[in-house]
Amino acid sequence: MVTLFDKTQNASAAGNGGPQDSYSGYREPDTKVPPKARPVLDAVSVNGVAIAESDILAEAQNHPADNPGAALAAAARALVVRQLLLQRARELDLLAAPQADGDGRLETAEDAAIRLVIEREVSAPSASEEECRRFYDNNREKFRSAPIFEASHILLPADPADEGARASRRIEAERLAAVIAGHPGEFATMARTHSACPSAASGGNLGQLTRGSTVTAFERALQRMKEGEITRAPVETRFGFHIIRLDRRVDGEQLPFDLVCRRIAGWLEASAWSKAVSQFIAVLATDATITGIDVTGADGPLRQ
């Protein structure tokens, strides 16, 4: 028979100053309400208008950063700037009809007000032909047609995460490159036999390649090669190891100023307009009472 409660032991304990009953160790649970969590940021406001922490948290997803704190700070600054512009629009009693963008999406009433206040308050000068010419002369490398390459390759794939397999495949690629160096006329045959690229079916031919058509390491190798040349050492990329043959090369040419003048003017005017908007917002921020965030500091949006 199992003893569930021994009165003798309890009585003895009581006589020796022990607990009076089996519940003597019971303690009332702590039912106090835990303290409220501290806010993520200090209270942020613009001229007395508070910006809710929930709005900052939602906005943070639009500001990728190295850490959550930086994203939240960037989001808070963006919302402060937005509030400055909205308050200026109300001060001017501006009413703007929402417009649709290129995809047919209608802007909000607040977005329309911000657009209108910037259109009314910000102006930027047009770029003169002299300014465009100066920019062209100082940045001639920007105004060249892209070179065109016709190339073939043999790809020996290797997983970047598997160091052992990648080292083995490197040795295999080096041996194959040495064989091809001695028998360049067999390149297409070797491509059909050894390459893991779909281009193997056409002897490794990749057709015409321009800037951005391939990964950086492959493109750099092409730029160093002469027509008819085959790489003696495999070119390593994240896909594996490539043995490349440059079949034809058409170097880029300098584009005449008349052909790019309007494009340059657009760049210069967009840059001037962006600076003018930043200066306008800086004036609004200077005249405003802003708490919780610095929008004019070294890493604020008005200094970028």
- Are residues 152 and 246 located together in one domain of the fold? yes
**Residue for token digits 């794939």?**
157
Assigned domain for 28 exists: no
Assigned domain for 16 exists: no
Lowest mean pLDDT among 39-43, 62-66, 265-269: 39-43
- Are residues 66 and 159 located together in one domain of the fold? no
Q: How confident is the model at residue 74 (pLDDT cuts 50, 70, 90)?
A: very high
Averaged pLDDT of the chain: 87
45: three-class secondary structure by DSSP: strand
- Are residues 101 and 165 located together in one domain of the fold? no
Q: How confident is the model at residue 2 (pLDDT cuts 50, 70, 90)?
A: very low
Tokens of 126: 């047009």
Lowest mean pLDDT among 13-27, 30-44, 148-162, 209-223: 13-27
- Are residues 152 and 244 located together in one domain of the fold? yes
- Are residues 238 and 295 located together in one domain of the fold? no
Q: How confident is the model at residue 193 (pLDDT cuts 50, 70, 90)?
A: very high
Tokens of 297: 């500091």
Tokens of 270: 């967009």
DSSP-assigned letters across all residues of 16-44: TT--SSTTTT------PPPPPPPPSS--E
Q: How confident is the model at residue 251 (pLDDT cuts 50, 70, 90)?
A: confident
Q: Report the pLDDT value the prediction gives residue 294, as an integer from 0 to 100.
A: 87
Q: Report the pLDDT value the prediction gives residue 12, as an integer from 0 to 100.
A: 47
- Are residues 54 and 84 located together in one domain of the fold? yes
Tokens of 265: 């003017």
Whether the per-residue pLDDT at 122 is higher than 70: the answer is yes
Q: Which domain holds residue 66?
A: 44-125+266-303
- Are residues 227 and 270 located together in one domain of the fold? no
- Are residues 238 and 283 located together in one domain of the fold? no
Whether the per-residue pLDDT at 11 is higher than 50: the answer is no
100: three-class secondary structure by DSSP: strand
Average pLDDT of the residues in 128-141: 95
State how far the Cα of 235 lies from the Cα of 182, in Å rounded to an integer.
Answer: 18
- Are residues 165 and 203 located together in one domain of the fold? yes
Residue 129 · residue 261 · CB < 8 Å: yes
- Are residues 154 and 100 located together in one domain of the fold? no
Q: How confident is the model at residue 146 (pLDDT cuts 50, 70, 90)?
A: confident
The set of residues, in sequence order, having a beta carbon less than 8 Å from that of 275 and lying 6+ positions away, is 124
- Are residues 244 and 275 located together in one domain of the fold? no
Q: Report the pLDDT value the prediction gives residue 36, as an integer from 0 to 100.
A: 59
State how far the Cα of 203 lies from the Cα of 206, in Å rounded to an integer.
Answer: 9
Of 176 and 301, the structure prediction assigns the larger pLDDT to: 176
The set of residues, in sequence order, having a beta carbon less than 8 Å from that of 290 and lying 6+ positions away, is 44, 45, 46, 47, 80
- Are residues 276 and 246 located together in one domain of the fold? no
State how far the Cα of 193 lies from the Cα of 176, in Å rounded to an integer.
Answer: 11
What is the C-alpha radius of gyration for the chain, rounded to an integer number of angstroms?
35
Assigned domain for 160 exists: yes
pTM, to two decimals: 0.58
Assigned domain for 119 exists: yes
Whether the per-residue pLDDT at 219 is higher than 60: the answer is yes
User: Where does residue 9 rank: exposed (0-12), middle (13-18), buried (19+ CB within 10 A)?
Assistant: exposed
Number of alpha carbons in the 13 Å side-chain half-sphere of residue 302: 21
80: three-class secondary structure by DSSP: helix
Average pLDDT of the residues in 260-267: 96
Whether the per-residue pLDDT at 292 is higher than 50: the answer is yes
Assigned domain for 154 exists: yes
Average pLDDT of the residues in 220-249: 95
Assigned domain for 209 exists: yes
Average pLDDT of the residues in 274-289: 95
Average pLDDT of the residues in 20-26: 58
Q: Report the pLDDT value the prediction gives residue 58, as an integer from 0 to 100.
A: 94
Provide the strand spans (E) within 85-204: 148-157
Assigned domain for 214 exists: yes
Any idea what the CATH number is for the domain that residue 207 is in? 3.10.50.40
* Domains held by the chain: number: 2
State how far the Cα of 29 lies from the Cα of 45, in Å rounded to an integer.
Answer: 41
Assigned domain for 21 exists: no
288: three-class secondary structure by DSSP: coil
